[in-house]
Amino acid sequence: MKESLNPTPQTLSFSSPQNMCRRCDGLGRSFDFDPDPFMPHPDTLFLDGVIGQCAV
């Protein structure tokens, strides 16, 4: 015999700790950082100028 579960709003919520999306932590948006625009020469050492100039 199967055990029946009594669903609650928290059980069905995508933002509850048990059910939240692991990529966005239940927020519905993920924030990714792409370092490539800041590192035009990734093989260069940090002290030799690996970080490019950024326009603000």
Domain count, the chain: 1
| Confidence at residue 7, expressed as pLDDT on a 0 to 100 scale | 78
Amino acid at 56: V
Mean pLDDT, the chain cut into blocks of 10 residues (56 residues total)? 69 74 80 79 70 56
Residues 6+ apart with CB under 8 A from 36: 42
Domain hosting 33: range is: 1-56
Per-residue pLDDT, 2: 58
Residue 24 CA to residue 13 CA, distance in Å, equals 14
